[in-house]
């Protein structure tokens, strides 16, 4: 709604031509004797898939100053957007009493246009465009506007020489000579999120990833003034980078690829990664501080600003237990107003628990790229272990996502590590925090280079770390990660013996058009038919014949439909490949209602799989490390 309340902007979506995805809803039919309720309900959701009809969207401005005579007018997108056919809008906002800003995106997601639409005709004029010849255009956020509405800042790709494209803040303004765009930030780092424009002090606040530290995320500010021609660009100031890790605690370990001839893990374990098992001589209650990582500086933040930018809530999300505080925007540094939540009770409870110990390091890949690896080690594991532990790799693989960050988490992986397994996560090609080139390496070929990187790192860990049992290596993932987990298990390299695919994407033809088309294009002969075919997990059913696979899905998943798991189940049964399947009635994508049962199912499956890989006399299993020989 406009600031004076006289006009309202709204969107209308017409999905009448979008096909329906139907699924059963069992509800009371599963536990009733009422004959009228013994049949499950059939529900449906309009769900566009690649190459099928998308909803059409219309943006409308309504003049409601006189409720008895409401006048409406549709916004007309810029010509370049209309020429491309189907389109999305990614944001819409009022700029003044008579202007709105709309960001449009073509269906192919290779062109994004920031436009200003003015009263009374409400034609949308292009202000700034972002195009991609290779890859896709990242969805642009709602721009931040100057106080007078004459300039805006948004996020756009900016090239940093041979390092490639990185997402940066760009300022665009109107003048007599037309739109002009200048970057306010530049370098081999990514801006993650625009937060606020402090007009009083002429600063833009944003979340960013420090150069060379893709696992961290900090709050920054940069001058909102465009640099003058010939003058140096003003450097950003990191608001939350002022504290550094204690020298006695080394958060990083840089390993070497096993194929390079020698690994430095064993020789430098004590120096780089201090042992964390509690002293056996102490009789009092143990404090497992290393696994908890108390009193470490905050390395991963998020922030939320008030509408006036005068205050903000700072979330410290890791590596320690999250804390929250309120700050007043000030120079040179913000002023702390109040601690909102320190999670003291959580910290005290966790301090009495033997938590897994995280270790983060880099592995140089044969492709020339570097992979970031995070291990969760069972409590008390030391360099001189003679016990061998199973390895469980968690995968995700969606472009731009990250698993290896300094953000604190406690999930099923922590439980599994506490039960005697080593949990691993890998960020390689396709992961976020490394520039757009890393994302675009997956363009039109999901399930290729990111899979190769995961397999190479898993091989390195298996062959280089003497306390990992090469006979007991598993992989698991959810959704996009479930897709990768199934492909990794089917690989002819035979790195993995067991795999868990939670709500997996099996065929990209079955998934949402906006997501699948962004990365894979259209699945027709003139598009990327071959890419879709090569990424079809059902074609790997024969390769899963001698592997142990657990498929998990909820019947009411309206994101990744149970149709995906059923397609793989049919292919596996047609090939005579044995597998296990867990179906949860009326559960959605997150499986929130069955988490306890899900975790027990996953643990029991891995325990059973690991026992099958090792003769019984070696006492293998998720809870037992097994013997060296």
CATH label of the domain that carries residue 27: 2.140.10.30
Write down the mean pLDDT value for the chain: 88
Instruction: Return d(Cα 222, Cα 205) in angstroms, integer.
Output: 7
- Nearest residue to 114 via CA among 123, 106, 104: 104
Per-residue pLDDT of 288-302, as tens digits, reads 444 555 568 999 999
**pLDDT at residue 269, rounded to an integer:** 37
At residue 249, does pLDDT exceed 60?
no
Total domains in the fold of the chain: 2
Q: How many helices (H) and strands (E) does the chain have?
A: 12, 30
In a domain, 249, yes or no: no
Please state the separation of Cα 460 from the chain's center in Å. 24
At residue 128, does pLDDT exceed 60?
yes
**pLDDT at residue 250, rounded to an integer:** 32
At residue 265, does pLDDT exceed 70?
no
- Average of per-residue pLDDT across 228-248: 72
* pTM for this predicted structure: 0.88
At residue 521, does pLDDT exceed 80?
yes
**pLDDT at residue 295, rounded to an integer:** 67
Give the 3-state secondary structure of residue 572: helix
* Confidence category of residue 508, pLDDT binned at 50, 70, 90: very high
At residue 506, does pLDDT exceed 70?
yes
Helix axes 480-490, 449-464, angle to 10 degrees: 60
* Confidence category of residue 173, pLDDT binned at 50, 70, 90: confident
Please state the separation of Cα 420 from the chain's center in Å. 27
- Nearest residue to 411 via CA among 465, 488, 480, 358: 358
Do residue 462 and residue 611 come from a single domain? Answer: yes
In a domain, 368, yes or no: yes
In a domain, 236, yes or no: no
At residue 270, does pLDDT exceed 80?
no
Report whether 572 contacts 518 (CB < 8 A): no
CATH label of the domain that carries residue 390: 3.40.50.1820
**Among the ranges given (155-164, 180-189, 242-251), the one the predictor scored with the smallest mean pLDDT:** 242-251
CB atoms closer than 10 angstroms to residue 498 = 24
Query: Where in the sequence is the domain holding 578, given as residue range(s)?
Result: 356-618
In a domain, 601, yes or no: yes
Instruction: Return d(Cα 578, Cα 612) in angstroms, integer.
Output: 14
Give percent above pLDDT 90 in the chain: 78
Instruction: Return d(Cα 467, Cα 459) in angstroms, integer.
Output: 14
In a domain, 20, yes or no: yes
Report whether 218 contacts 406 (CB < 8 A): no
| Eight-state DSSP code of residue 617 | G
**pLDDT at residue 254, rounded to an integer:** 27
- φ, ψ for residue 172 (rounded to 5)? -125, 135
- Average of per-residue pLDDT across 545-572: 97
* Confidence category of residue 519, pLDDT binned at 50, 70, 90: very high
At residue 252, does pLDDT exceed 80?
no
| Eight-state DSSP code of residue 409 | -
**pLDDT at residue 615, rounded to an integer:** 64
Interacting residues of 80 by C-beta distance below 8 A, sequence separation 6+: 111, 113, 126, 129
Among 226, 250, 278, give the residue marking a domain's end: 226
Please state the separation of Cα 172 from the chain's center in Å. 29
| Eight-state DSSP code of residue 509 | G
Among 176, 210, 226, give the residue marking a domain's end: 226
Give percent above pLDDT 70 in the chain: 88
In a domain, 562, yes or no: yes
In a domain, 290, yes or no: no
**pLDDT at residue 405, rounded to an integer:** 97
Between CA 312 and CA 322, with CA 318 as vertex, the angle to 5 degrees is 60
Question: Token pair of 117, please?
Answer: 């639409």
- Nearest residue to 193 via CA among 203, 210, 208, 180: 208
In a domain, 276, yes or no: no
CB atoms closer than 10 angstroms to residue 92 = 17
Between CA 401 and CA 413, with CA 407 as vertex, the angle to 5 degrees is 80
């Amino acid at each position: 709604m406009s600031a004076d309340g006289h006009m309202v902007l709204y969107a209308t979506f017409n999905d009448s031509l979008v096909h329906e995805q139907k699924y059963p809803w069992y509800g009371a039919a599963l536990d009733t004797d009422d004959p009228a309720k013994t049949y499950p309900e059939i529900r449906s959701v309009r769900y566009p898939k690649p190459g099928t009809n998308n909803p059409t969207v219309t943006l409308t401005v309504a003049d409601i100053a006189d409720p008895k005579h409401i006048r409406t007018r549709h916004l007309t997108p810029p010509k370049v957007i209309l020429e491309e056919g189907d389109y999305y809008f990614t944001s819409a906002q009022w700029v003044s009493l008579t202007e709105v800003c709309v960001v449009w995106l073509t269906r192919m997601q290779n062109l994004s246009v920031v436009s200003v639409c003015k009263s009374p005709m409400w034609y949308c004029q292009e202000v700034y465009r972002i195009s991609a010849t290779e890859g896709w255009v990242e969805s642009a956020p709602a721009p931040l506007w100057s106080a007078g509405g004459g300039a805006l800042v948004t996020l756009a790709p900016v090239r940093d020489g041979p390092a490639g494209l990185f997402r940066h803040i760009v300022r665009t303004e109107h003048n007599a000579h037309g739109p002009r765009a200048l970057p306010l930030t530049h370098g081999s780092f990514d801006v993650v999120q625009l937060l606020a424009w402090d007009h009083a002090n002429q600063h833009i606040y944003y979340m960013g990833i420090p150069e060379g530290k893709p696992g961290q995320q900090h709050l920054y500010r940069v001058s909102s003034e465009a640099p003058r021609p010939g003058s140096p660009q003003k450097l950003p100031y990191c608001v939350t980078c002022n504290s550094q890790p204690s020298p006695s605690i080394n958060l990083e370990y840089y390993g070497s690829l096993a194929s390079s001839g020698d690994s430095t893990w064993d020789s430098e374990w004590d120096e780089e990664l201090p042992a964390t098992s509690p002293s056996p001589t102490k009789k009092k209650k143990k404090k497992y501080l290393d696994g908890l990582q108390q009193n470490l500086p905050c390395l991963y933040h998020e922030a939320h600003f008030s509408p006036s930018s005068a205050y903000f809530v700072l979330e410290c999300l890791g590596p320690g237990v999250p804390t929250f505080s309120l700050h007043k925007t000030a120079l040179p540094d913000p002023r702390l107003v109040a601690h909102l939540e320190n999670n003291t009770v959580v910290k005290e409870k966790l301090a009495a628990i033997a938590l897994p110990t995280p270790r983060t390091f880099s592995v140089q890949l044969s492709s020339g790229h570097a992979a970031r690896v995070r291990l969760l080690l069972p409590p008390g594991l030391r360099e001189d272990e003679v016990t061998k532990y199973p390895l469980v790799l968690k995968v995700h693989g969606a472009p731009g996502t990250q698993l290896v960050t300094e953000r604190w988490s406690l999930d099923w992986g922590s439980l599994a590590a506490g039960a005697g397994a080593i949990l691993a996560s890998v960020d390689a090609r396709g992961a976020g925090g490394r520039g757009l080139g890393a994302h675009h390496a997956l363009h039109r070929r999901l399930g290729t280079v990111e899979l190769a990187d995961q397999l190479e790192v898993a091989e390195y860990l298996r062959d280089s770390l003497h306390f990992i049992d090469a006979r007991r290596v598993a992989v698991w993932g959810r959704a996009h990660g479930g897709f990768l987990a199934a492909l990794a298990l089917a690989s002819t390299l035979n790195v993995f013996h067991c795999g868990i695919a939670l709500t997996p994407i099996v065929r990209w033809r079955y998934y949402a058009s906006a997501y699948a088309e962004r990365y894979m294009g259209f699945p027709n002969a003139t598009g990327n038919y071959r890419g879709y075919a090569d990424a079809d997990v059902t074609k790997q059913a024969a390769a899963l014949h001698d592997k142990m696979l657990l498929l998990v899905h909820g019947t009411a998943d309206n994101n990744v439909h149970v149709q995906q798991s059923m397609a793989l189940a049919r292919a596996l049964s047609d090939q005579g490949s044995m597998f296990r399947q867990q179906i949860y009635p009326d559960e959605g994508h997150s499986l929130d209602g069955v988490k306890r049962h899900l975790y027990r199912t996953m643990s029991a499956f891995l325990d059973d799989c690991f026992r099958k890989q090792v003769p019984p006399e070696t006492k293998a299993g998720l809870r037992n490390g097994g013997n060296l020989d």
